[in-house]
Copies of this chain bind each other. A is one copy, B any other.
Amino acid sequence: MTDNTIVNELKDVTIRFSGDSGDGMQLSGTLFSTLSAILGNEIATFPDYPAEIRAPKGTLQGVSGFQVRIGSHDVYNAGDKTDVLVAMNPAALKVNAENLKKHSIVIYDSDSFQKKDLEKAGFKTDNPFQELNLNSVQAIPVAITSLTKSALEDMGVDNKIMLRSKNMFALGIVCWLFNRPADIAERLLKEKFGKKPLIFQANIKAFLAGYDYGNNTHLTASTYRIETVKHEKGFYIDVNGNLATAYGLIAAAEKAGLRLFLGSYPITPASDILHELAKRKDFGVKALQMEDEIAGICTAIGASFAGHLAATSTSGPGLALKSEALNLAVMLELPLVVIDVQRAGPSTGMPTKSEQTDLNMALYGRNGESPLAVIAAFSPTDCFDAAFWASKLAVEHMTPVALLTNGYIANGSSAWKIPNMDDYPTIVPPYVQKHFDGDPSTWKPYLRDEKTLARYWAIPGTPGYMHRIGGLEKDYYTGNISTDPDNHRLMVKTRQEKIDKIADFIPKQEVWGDKNADTLIVGWGGSYGHLLEAAKKIRKAGKKVAFTQFKFIAPLPKNTEEILRTYKKIIVAEENNGQFASYLQGKFGNLPLHRFNRITGQPFSIEELVTEFIQIIDRKTIDNENKSYVSKTYA
């Protein structure tokens, strides 16, 4: 059969692989995104795991999804609604139904859309599409299970391996649909399974069977090609946010000439940082899994005292546990990077879901006046820069730095251009030996550098600089324990000023969009991609708007107030109840704030952002009150 299907050029497409936890959808998705990146597309991914390790097969709770968005450019996030859904069972269809675009393609495994499968997913009729009101989607049944089995029949592999290869059959179909050359997939599979020839063979066979099946049956009337525009030349790898965070720390340690130390305790969705750094013994990284989060941060403090670049990684509940020790680090004025991969709370909450609700805790969750620096990463790849910055500030300013990422960017991935490390600034630890003419006699442990107010770092093992530090208030000059009222006042002030002064060393805040807009959209951290795209769409819709996303939260960039005072309306959009908005309002006062707050455990919906923002832009009044957490669905 010759290929006479129509090939459509697309700018941007969102595809979701969805099935049971055991169906291998994460792998199909990862491979598809990687090979698209290799082809020069921009990519963004969003793995959406169930909370259970293995929920009962075929149930809604067990559905595991992996969303990939690929495009020619401007792929800042993994997309809202899907163009193509691969549904390995009825539950996968049901869970994703709400997020299907109107005319999307649904490729589903007809072998597993039998009566009992439909029942498990809670369908009442035998037409799930009708039941879900999916009348305009293009539903394409493929007997994926049986076709895979027959493709592998002659290999003599067992049933388990056959079933496990279904995901490659599905991947094959999707690769055909998007005109991805099969050989790249083959190469990637070889890298993945090269050491297990049988599995590799089965996977490749299933993949090609799927690919050919699409081709041979003209499964869809048209296939798609994603435009590739010229990209920055260079070498790329695929990273998710956790990996990029780990790499950022390694790179910073190298720049600073320090050994890297991580004290940690596993917790979803932060564990992969520990896993990666535990692997990196080739760099001499010391990554300790401790008995709990408190021991995690305490070993890091001990290692920082001993002169390492020390970090601790966790998620919300773990940061709560670390707060007492983190406060000690504030008092000790030692460098420490504290990574919080935010997940949906409060309490255990929804561990596999993402939100931005830990900002307040990072800023305020300690007894006493306890200032530290707070940085939030924008995207999977930006985690590298953010972790690098966090390390730099920690070391050069002798302070703990909280680095906030979240589940969405931590698990989501993008293609990352391998950086030229010469482009990154140096990191210069304020070693005490380099000051005081190398003469310890005039030095005291809490004397400070004038520009940064950082105290000098005297590391155990260094002759002459023996000293004692601790969590009790100390005298400004001698560093001895002091309960003097004026001294305490001075020290409280100095610790705050030290953090405030960091503003002298970080980039100014930049604003994107219309110079003369009345409305400024403000976000922070991991919602960057969604907000930027929404802003672009609003401009396309003919409205003027400006947009700025904060990475440096404490201290804020120096020009922050100046920027904020420029606009008549400020929309602060957050995946929480308005924490950053209140922080800005509390600091500057009299800001014309609108709070847009969504707390669903899911990333923002761009569509919703655009609609709601336009409404606010068009509205006449200013509404500082925080009413927007009211849920439309239930309120």
A352: which B residues are within 8 A, CB to CB?
483
**5 nearest interchain CB pairs?**
A345-B368, A316-B367, A346-B368, A582-B586, A485-B600
Q: A328-B347, A472-B348 are in contact. Are A364 and B360 (CB under 8 A)?
A: yes
Asked if A281 CB lies within 8 Å of chain B CBs, one says no
> Which residue among A317, A349, A490, A635 has the maximum number of chain B CB atoms within 10 Å of its CB?
A349
Chain A residue total in the interface (Cβ 8 A): 80
Our pick among B323, B358, B483, B586 for the contact of A320 (Cβ within 8 Å) is: B323
Task: State the oligomeric state as a number of copies.
Answer: 2
Q: A51-B483, A485-B601, A589-B593 are in contact. Are A319 and B367 (CB under 8 A)?
A: yes
Q: Are the C-beta atoms of A324 and B331 separated by less than 8 Å?
A: no
Q: Are the C-beta atoms of B486 and A633 separated by less than 8 Å?
A: yes
Would you give the 0/1 interface string for A450-492, flagging 1 where the beta carbon is closer than 8 Å to chain B? 0000000000000000000011110010000101011011101
Q: Are the C-beta atoms of B488 and A344 separated by less than 8 Å?
A: yes
A-B residue pairs in contact (CB < 8 Å), sample of 7: A320-B365, A327-B345, A344-B488, A346-B367, A489-B599, A490-B634, A493-B634
Asked if A576 CB lies within 8 Å of chain B CBs, one says yes
In Å, the complex CA distance between A342 and B631 comes to 37
Q: Are the C-beta atoms of B600 and A368 separated by less than 8 Å?
A: no
Q: Are the C-beta atoms of A496 and B577 separated by less than 8 Å?
A: yes
In Å, the complex CA distance between A483 and B585 comes to 32
Asked if A433 CB lies within 8 Å of chain B CBs, one says no
Would you give the 0/1 interface string for A561-593, flagging 1 where the beta carbon is closer than 8 Å to chain B? 000000000000000110101110111111101
A367: which B residues are within 8 A, CB to CB?
315-317, 319-320, 342, 345-347, 349, 357-358, 361
Q: A582-B586, A590-B589 are in contact. Are A320 and B366 (CB under 8 A)?
A: yes
A348: which B residues are within 8 A, CB to CB?
328, 331, 470-472
In Å, the complex CA distance between A352 and B482 comes to 12
In Å, the complex CA distance between A583 and B345 comes to 22
Asked if A541 CB lies within 8 Å of chain B CBs, one says no
Smallest CB-CB separation from A342: which chain B residue?
B367
A582: which B residues are within 8 A, CB to CB?
582, 586-587
Q: Are the C-beta atoms of B598 and A489 separated by less than 8 Å?
A: yes
A327: which B residues are within 8 A, CB to CB?
317, 320, 345-347
In Å, the complex CA distance between A629 and B491 comes to 11
Would you give the 0/1 interface string for A336-376, flagging 1 where the beta carbon is closer than 8 Å to chain B? 00000010111111101101011011011111111000000
In Å, the complex CA distance between A598 and B488 comes to 10
Q: Are the C-beta atoms of B624 and A488 separated by less than 8 Å?
A: no
> Which residue among A321, A346, A470, A633 has the maximum number of chain B CB atoms within 10 Å of its CB?
A346
Asked if A221 CB lies within 8 Å of chain B CBs, one says no
Besides A344-B488, A348-B472, A350-B472, 12 other A-B contacts (C-beta < 8 A): A320-B324, A320-B367, A327-B345, A344-B368, A346-B370, A361-B364, A361-B365, A488-B601, A492-B577, A493-B635, A583-B586, A589-B591
Give the shortest distance, in Å, between A561 (CB) and chain B (any CB). 10
In Å, the complex CA distance between A593 and B586 comes to 10
A349: which B residues are within 8 A, CB to CB?
331, 367-368, 471-473
Q: A317-B327, A327-B317, A488-B601 are in contact. Are A369 and B346 (CB under 8 A)?
A: yes
In Å, the complex CA distance between A457 and B409 comes to 40
Q: Are the C-beta atoms of A347 and B365 separated by less than 8 Å?
A: no
Give the shortest distance, in Å, between A320 (CB) and chain B (any CB). 4
Give the shortest distance, in Å, between A3 (CB) and chain B (any CB). 41
Would you give the 0/1 interface string for A359-397, flagging 1 where the beta carbon is closer than 8 Å to chain B? 011011111111000000000000000000000000000
List A481-532 residues whose CB lies under 8 Å from chain B.
481, 483, 485-486, 488-490, 492-493, 495-496
Q: Are the C-beta atoms of B347 and A633 separated by less than 8 Å?
A: no
In Å, the complex CA distance between A361 and B320 comes to 11
A476: which B residues are within 8 A, CB to CB?
634
A471: which B residues are within 8 A, CB to CB?
347-349
In Å, the complex CA distance between A328 and B320 comes to 11
Smallest CB-CB separation from A331: which chain B residue?
B347
In Å, the complex CA distance between A321 and B319 comes to 10
Smallest CB-CB separation from A482: which chain B residue?
B350
In Å, the complex CA distance between A346 and B366 comes to 7
Our pick among B319, B344, B583 for the contact of A473 (Cβ within 8 Å) is: B344
A330: which B residues are within 8 A, CB to CB?
346-347
Q: Are the C-beta atoms of A345 and B320 separated by less than 8 Å?
A: no
A365: which B residues are within 8 A, CB to CB?
320, 323, 360-361, 364-366
Asked if A630 CB lies within 8 Å of chain B CBs, one says yes
List A592-621 residues whose CB lies under 8 Å from chain B.
593, 598-602
Q: Are the C-beta atoms of B490 and A631 separated by less than 8 Å?
A: yes
Smallest CB-CB separation from A372: which chain B residue?
B346
A353: which B residues are within 8 A, CB to CB?
483, 488
